[in-house]
Chains A and B, each alone.
Chain A
Amino acid sequence: MVDPSATRLAPEADVAAPVIELRGAGKTYRSGSIEFEALKGIDLAIYEGEYVAIMGPSGSGKSTIMNVLGCLDTLTRGEYRLGGTDVNDLDEVELAEIRNRQIGFVFQGFNLLSSLPAWRNVELPLIYGGIPRHERKQRAEQALDRVGLGDRFENRPGELSGGQQQRVAVARALVGEPTMILADEPTGNLDSVSTQDVLELFDELHARGRTIVLITHELEVAQRAARIVWVRDGEVIRDELTEAAAA
């Protein structure tokens, strides 16, 4: 099963720097006078082309890590280097470009715009990527096809099941062909058939060299990845290679 001997992992150790690197990353949430330390100094390095699963109990800080990795949230301590650059040194416009070009994010709560049909939701990243209109629709429909929603282009999120909405969210993350896919529980609402479909899609993207980080609480899903990072109470407690890595 899991190889417990692996501690520090670099499948492509010859590649110089990790694409993603957290150093002593800390995050403290403040609501009024109440402070909550969600991340307590995390060190994590992920190399290009890696397929990493993050696991841990509810409230352990998985989504918080993912939001930081996706440049959606900022650390209160430590640093986050993306492709060798400290994201703190980037301005809003540069960050927007990174979110658009390099990162495909699947949110835990989908975050679809309820007023727009499925294909328009999927198209959104392409609008900000400056892709011309005719090409956008074509690519949005291709992406929906890939997640098995070829017949649901025109449906609004409210007219789709939870699993279908989740797949629209996955399609939106893929459509811009980002180098990194960050997915927060992408199979949480899917039945076993759809779960297999989405995981095959990720396998395929991984095979084509994309870096994939996904959060899951299903060991079965996590084992499709090459590496599992275990988080508890805002700390990384284990970081190991799976059988899939050996394969």
Chain B
Amino acid sequence: MSWLESFRTSWSAVYSHALRSTLTVLGILIGIAAVILTVGLGLGTQKDVSAQISSLGSNLLIVAPGSSTDTAGVRGGFGSSSTLTIADAEALESSVNAPDISGVAAEKTTSLSLEANDTNWTTSVTGTTTSWLDVRARTLSTGEFISADDEETSALVVVLGSETADELFGTQRVVGQSVVISDKTFQVIGVLDSAGSDSSSNLDDVAIVPFSTAASVLVGGTESSAVSTIYLQASSDGQLSAAYQEAQTLLLNLHSIGDSTAADFTISSQDALVSTATAVYATLTILLTGVAALSLLVGGIGVMNIMLVSVSERTREIGLRKALGAPPGAIRRQFLIEAAILGLSGGLLGALLGVTAALVLPGVIGSSIVVSPAAVGLSIGVAIVIGISFGVYPATRAARLAPIDALRSE
């Protein structure tokens, strides 16, 4: 009996047991689509988060007041003390002492209420310098950013985050409008492009004012020169650790601290954030892969069930074919081809469904799905192995029976 004849026989068996074949194919299909999607979702989330983090600003170092090695209460918690001042920021701008730092943006942030027309909105008001836009890698959607002039004159001007602008003015034109902050009337000169949110804050709900304005008009008193964060931009990716060293040395000097472990500030980098996040999402991917493997297993057990039932149901058929002159090889081949047809069509349809969903779903759920060729290949392989081991193995055993014993089986 030729392979072609075997194929015809197998095909007619697949075709004439439409329901059983459909169920088998469905089992494999769903398992594979699930694997492709869950693994894809894990990888996609990982990619999204890395992209989001690096969009916060590249080559960035973040200097915060307080020590990360503090025990509670000794020097005050992270960010709560005012050990960093605008003078520190100005010193870091020096191209002599810190040649590898190309940009410095000090931030002084307080939570204040903004009022426009009859709307009230509380947001974090940040006083900063002109370099902020560059250092934080942000862009404006309309208007302009704080100028050196504004800084010089402590001008009452404000740049709003996209969400803040929305809350205060809705669909109205925003630039040129007035906002009242701490009883002072500010003029809106620009609106930032949306940047989503990072791990700790909503980047779109902010109000940016000149540093001098924040220091004198909004905060005042002894706190006026304190800053809450200084962002440093290294001149290039490779200079990040050099920039780190320079900033550390300079600040220790300025604060007259000899031992770096006693520093009253903390320098962290986006890199650390990225690698932490990547590690977290790698764990997530492993978890999702586990879920996917489980669904493949469940699908596989379903297929196994159908195959085993179908083989025992068809042991009589095997007996009959043998009685009519089928050699054992022909029986094996028939079931091998049958399992391959079911496994392959389930595998390919599952891959098709998974990949299609991976292309369509991101538009609906808003997070990207990365199709991993390894996941696709592996799951199709598993489907075929399942089909073959649970279809062909029992069939081969049945083919070894004396025809009459196979015929008598119930």
Please give the distance in Å from B318's CB to the nearest CB on chain A: 11
B327 contacts the other chain (CB 8 A): yes
Contact of B324 among A92, A99, A120, A130 (CB under 8 A): A99
A128 touches B326 (CB 8 A): yes
A100 contacts the other chain (CB 8 A): yes
Q: Chain A residues near B316 (CB, 8 Å)? A: 111
What mask results when residues 306 to 327 of chain B are scored 1 for a CB within 8 Å of chain A, else 0? 0000000000110011111111
Q: 8 Å CB contacts to A: which residues of B313-364? A: 316-317, 320-330
A119 contacts the other chain (CB 8 A): no
B13 touches A70 (CB 8 A): no
B297 contacts the other chain (CB 8 A): no
B interface size (C-beta, 8 A): 26
Please give the distance in Å from A98's CB to the nearest CB on chain B: 8
Q: Chain B residues near A92 (CB, 8 Å)? A: 327-328
B330 touches A128 (CB 8 A): yes
What mask results when residues 378 to 405 of chain B are scored 1 for a CB within 8 Å of chain A, else 0? 0000000000000000000000001111
Q: What CA separation (Å) do A127 and B9 show in the bound complex?
A: 9
Contact of B1 among A73, A74, A111, A130 (CB under 8 A): A130
Q: What CA separation (Å) do A115 and B407 show in the bound complex?
A: 16
A125 touches B404 (CB 8 A): no
Residue in A closest to B322 when the chains form the complex, CB atoms: A96
Q: 8 Å CB contacts to B: which residues of A13-27? A: none
Q: Chain B residues near A130 (CB, 8 Å)? A: 1-2
Residue in A closest to B4 when the chains form the complex, CB atoms: A133
Q: Chain A residues near B5 (CB, 8 Å)? A: 127
A129 touches B325 (CB 8 A): yes
A115 touches B402 (CB 8 A): no
Q: What CA separation (Å) do A3 and B17 show in the bound complex?
A: 54
Contacts A116-B12, A128-B1, A130-B1; is A111 near B407 (CB within 8 Å)?
yes
A97 contacts the other chain (CB 8 A): yes
Residue in B closest to A99 when the chains form the complex, CB atoms: B325
A-B contact count (CB 8 A): 69
Q: What CA separation (Å) do A120 and B321 show in the bound complex?
A: 12
Q: Chain A residues near B328 (CB, 8 Å)? A: 92-93, 96
B403 touches A124 (CB 8 A): no
A72 touches B404 (CB 8 A): yes
A67 contacts the other chain (CB 8 A): yes
Q: Chain B residues near A105 (CB, 8 Å)? A: 323-324
B322 touches A73 (CB 8 A): no
Q: Chain A residues near B403 (CB, 8 Å)? A: 72-73, 99
A128 touches B324 (CB 8 A): yes
B71 contacts the other chain (CB 8 A): no
A interface size (C-beta, 8 A): 27
Contact of B325 among A67, A73, A100 (CB under 8 A): A100
B330 touches A72 (CB 8 A): no
A210 contacts the other chain (CB 8 A): no
B402 touches A73 (CB 8 A): yes
Please give the distance in Å from B236's CB to the nearest CB on chain A: 72
Q: 8 Å CB contacts to B: which residues of A156-173? A: 172
Q: What CA separation (Å) do A116 and B326 show in the bound complex?
A: 17
B16 contacts the other chain (CB 8 A): yes
Q: What CA separation (Å) do A129 and B402 show in the bound complex?
A: 20
A101 contacts the other chain (CB 8 A): yes
Contact of A113 among B2, B317, B330 (CB under 8 A): B317
B324 touches A115 (CB 8 A): no
Contact of A96 among B17, B320, B325 (CB under 8 A): B325
B1 touches A99 (CB 8 A): no
Residue in A closest to B326 when the chains form the complex, CB atoms: A128
B325 touches A111 (CB 8 A): no
Q: Chain B residues near A113 (CB, 8 Å)? A: 317, 320
A72 touches B16 (CB 8 A): no
Q: What CA separation (Å) do A125 and B326 show in the bound complex?
A: 8
Q: Chain B residues near A115 (CB, 8 Å)? A: 13, 16-17
Residue in A closest to B399 when the chains form the complex, CB atoms: A92
Residue in B closest to A124 when the chains form the complex, CB atoms: B324
Q: What CA separation (Å) do A128 and B12 show in the bound complex?
A: 16
Residue in A closest to B407 when the chains form the complex, CB atoms: A111
A97 touches B402 (CB 8 A): no
Q: Chain A residues near B330 (CB, 8 Å)? A: 128
A99 touches B16 (CB 8 A): no
Q: Which 4 A-B pairs have CB atoms at the shortest separation, nearest pair first? A: A100-B325, A96-B327, A115-B16, A128-B325
Jot down 20 A-B pairs with beta carbons below 8 A, ordered by A: A72-B404, A72-B407, A73-B402, A73-B404, A92-B327, A93-B327, A93-B328, A96-B322, A96-B325, A99-B325, A100-B324, A107-B407, A115-B13, A116-B12, A116-B16, A127-B1, A127-B9, A128-B326, A129-B325, A130-B1
User: Which residues of B approach A to under 8 Å, CB–CB?
Assistant: 1-2, 5, 9, 12-13, 16-17, 316-317, 320-330, 402-405, 407
